[in-house]
Chain A
Amino acid sequence: RSQKAVSIITSFYGNMADVGKTPVARNEKASSEFGYVGIDAILEQMRRKAMKQGFEFNIMVVGQSGLGKSTLTNTLFKSKVSRRSVMTTEEERIPKTIEIKSISHVIEEKGVRMKLTVIDTPGFGDQINNENCWQPIMKFINAQYEQYLQEEINIDRKKRISDSRVHCCIYFIPPTGHCLRPIDIEFMRHLSKVVNIVPVISKADTLTLEERDFFKQKIREDLRANEIDIYPQKEFDEDAEDRMINEKIRAMIPFAVVGSDQEYQVNGKRLLGRKTRWGTVEVENTTHCEFAYLRDLLIRTHMQNIKDITSSIYYEMYRVRRLNENNTKPNGQPAIHANGVPEHEVLSHEM
């Protein structure tokens, strides 16, 4: 079953890679095709523009320490983009409260430039009392929406509003093999309302395939029971084709992943993997783990869609809440300072 799903995902990617790759040779067309207007040249114009401008992507990783967040991020982007890799001078300590640290890198591939921002959340789930651990994270996400909104409603707007909104939040589930823990459910329940959540089963090389499938099923049941909508959300499927692809993905999530930035020699090839005494786990081998599916989903096929949902749905929801709040001030006093910092009341972007 997973093989079939692979083919769907890669074939989808395959189709998209072909779109527009054939250049529109102007003179050729003009002489051979009578009545050719050239409207389809706009695709090439658009591509040119996109290449020139570059892209932004903001990804947040959430999970207890030791679940391999940094390694997975590095593996996903094939470079040292995680905070830990950069801050080598800092002591490796677990903070007393949840901290939110973001770090940006510029990466380039085949002429396409991307500003990648990885937002780390050290301290999450590591305290003895983890009540309301989701709050600082939610606050951070809403603060990014707030910043964007403030820029957007300026009279004199910048030509380009830098997008710091969190596009995607990867939630690391420890490979217990049983079911979701209360902290997992609490977190995802709250955050799935403001951001795209992509849960992954981390360090999945400790689960056998049967254990893995059982675990996934339990997780999906738990999510359904708690009405948690993770990415790709059913209600945002655009059309039948979309739904078909997304249903296949929904049947497979959460992906069970293994991360590694070490290369080993396997069958004459150098592959990313984890070497153990009983064998080498190949990260990009889909019979070993589902890293490749995660990478394909996040980067190769659905990255634009993830960004679209963030801006067209979550951001708009925030905006509606925010603008409605101001319209119903209880006592005539501005509840929000002009610079967006709230006074006393806990409003939507504080929650």
Chain B
Amino acid sequence: QCSSELMGPLLFPSYILYLDKIQFEEGEGARAVPLSGHVGFDSMPDQLVNKSVNHGFCFNILCVGETGLGKSTLMDTLFNTKFEGEPTQHNQPGVQLKSNTYELQESNVRLKLNVVNTVGFGDQINKEDSYKSIVEFIDAQFEAYLQEELKIKRTLHSYHDTRIHACLYFIAPTGHSLKSLDLVTMKKLDSKVNIIPIIAKSDAISKSELAKFKIKITSELVSNGVQIYQFPTDDETVAEINSTMNGHLPFAVVGSTEEVKIGNKMVRARQYPWGTVQVENENHCDFVKLREMLIRVNMEDLREQTHTRHYELYRRCKLEEMGFKDTDPDSKPFSLQETYEAKRNEFMGELQKKEEEMRQMFVQRVKEKEGELKEAEKELHEKFDRLKKLHQDEKKKLEDKKKALDDELNSFKQKKTAAELLQAQTQQAGSSSTLKKDKERKK
């Protein structure tokens, strides 16, 4: 994600814009008074807009659709730029969301555009969980904003809003009806994001088939209770164009970044042997309508709906889930802080309990190990004793043997001495025959 700090250090609380009309009727304690001259607060819209221009804008689009439906090309065509990235392969193991941020500028307006693509959507054999990663992603952006909003020291005015403002749902140009994956996914997303369904690569369908296709899609969405984004018709300046466009949904689009010469102009088009589909020709496709609605007329409303409707719903559900309530059983208002404190204490208590448990387990383990080691030590001692004894026995045996040998040696020596003495005596007696007889006797 590439993002550079273009925003100033202050100070545009953008949420102020996302408020309903101020009650200007009488009876709210405010009466209308006429002005006797020019005061000058008619510059307020200008002051507000100027502040936004300094601060910059952000817009986040999520493109959901099967691989190969031309999502990246359509984004390139819509925003007249070349977004980075190679076309994805079809062998992704699961659905991932890839997000890219771009800084665009037109006259004095700086837009931080965030385009999120679903990678691998519809490629798996088992698509039951395909929608899950998308829902998780959208929720994660809401969660991040909620976390910031709940912080004690927060910087909401300079927060980089990543919440998805518009979800372009790409429908494959089969010409028949919606796929069940489409219905399931859109149903899961309709309460979380503004869905704008579009028919991708619509140059594959003929005009008559297209009309039937659109009707079929619309009726399937209605009968399944899928809430798609309606262009707002409450402001009279744009009510007419918006309600007309509402009738053209889903938009049948064609995207192309290649230029072809038609007449004396270069236009973006797709060239076939039998003719050329011009992207910006309203007779050929609804691209211009999509651009008009998405960017030029309703971008601000998309952002507002995301903040005041989808985000508020998420926030309410999340906080209720966590156990916060506005009023207790006696209908007395709860202070968020009290509940928060209670929860915090509960959490700390749990934490302590877990810590205690872990400590116990650790002590137990240490004991066991100690026991084991003691056992081992004992065994070693015993072995040592045994060996020692063995060694001593051996030693004794050998000593005995030695003694026996010594005794033998001694007795042999004695005998030898005795024999020599006798020999000496007989020699002294003087006859060699006695010697011989002795010798014989000895033998």
Which positions in A face B, CB cutoff 8 Å?
A: 13, 16-17, 19-21, 24, 26, 30, 34-43, 45-57, 76-81, 104-115, 117, 153-157, 159-162, 236, 238-239, 272, 295-296, 299-305, 307-309, 311-313, 316, 319-320, 323-324, 326-327, 329, 334, 336-340
Contacts and interface: CB of A to CB of B under 8 A. Distances in A.
Contact of A109 (B38, B57, B319, B320): B38
Query: When A and B form their complex, which 7 residue pairs have the shortest distance between CB atoms, in order from nearest?
Result: A304-B47, A45-B300, A38-B296, A104-B30, A300-B40, A160-B19, A326-B337
B333 A338 contact: yes
Contacts of B319: 155
A137 B297 CA distance: 45
Contacts of B106: 36-40
Nearest to A307: B16
Interface in B16-64: 16-17, 19-24, 28-54, 57
A311 B13 CA distance: 8
B40 A295 contact: yes
Contacts of B258: none
Given A17-B43, A45-B298, A239 B8 contact: yes
A308 B51 contact: yes
Contacts of B22: 53-56, 113, 115, 160, 162
A48 B312 CA distance: 23
| Size band of the interface chain B makes with A | 35 or more
Contacts of A340: 335
B13 A308 contact: yes
Contacts of B235: 48, 52
Interface of B: 8-13, 16-17, 19-24, 28-54, 57, 78-80, 104-109, 111, 152-154, 157, 235, 237-238, 265-266, 280, 288, 291-292, 295-301, 304, 308, 312, 315-316, 319-320, 324-326, 332-338, 340-341
Given A47-B48, A53-B22, A56-B22, 12 more contacts: A37-B78, A38-B291, A43-B109, A48-B238, A112-B42, A113-B22, A113-B24, A156-B326, A159-B19, A303-B43, A304-B44, A336-B335
Given A34-B266, A77-B39, A78-B35, A26 B324 contact: no
28 contacts: A16-B46, A39-B109, A39-B295, A40-B106, A42-B109, A42-B299, A43-B49, A43-B109, A47-B48, A49-B304, A52-B21, A55-B41, A81-B33, A105-B32, A106-B30, A109-B42, A156-B326, A238-B9, A295-B39, A300-B43, A307-B16, A308-B12, A312-B13, A323-B152, A326-B340, A338-B332, A338-B335, A339-B333
Nearest to B332: A338
A114 B44 CA distance: 9
A303 B32 contact: no
A312 B109 contact: no
A158 B11 CA distance: 23
B24 A106 contact: yes
Nearest to B44: A55
Contacts of B80: 35-37
Most buried by B among A16, A17, A43, A295: A43
A303 B11 contact: no
A154 B35 CA distance: 38
A33 to B, nearest CB: 10
Contacts of B265: 34
B51 A304 contact: yes
A338 to B, nearest CB: 4
A159 B153 contact: no
B298 A238 contact: no
Contacts of B19: 53, 159-161
Contact of A156 (B8, B111, B316, B340): B316
Contacts of B280: 30
B46 A20 contact: yes
A50 B109 contact: no
A328 B20 CA distance: 37
A298 B378 CA distance: 91
Given A49-B304, A236-B11, A323-B337, A37 B291 contact: yes
A51 B45 contact: yes
A120 to B, nearest CB: 15
Given A46-B300, A104-B30, A106-B32, A334 B335 contact: yes
A328 B129 CA distance: 45
A108 B335 CA distance: 38
B428 to A, nearest CB: 125
A61 to B, nearest CB: 16
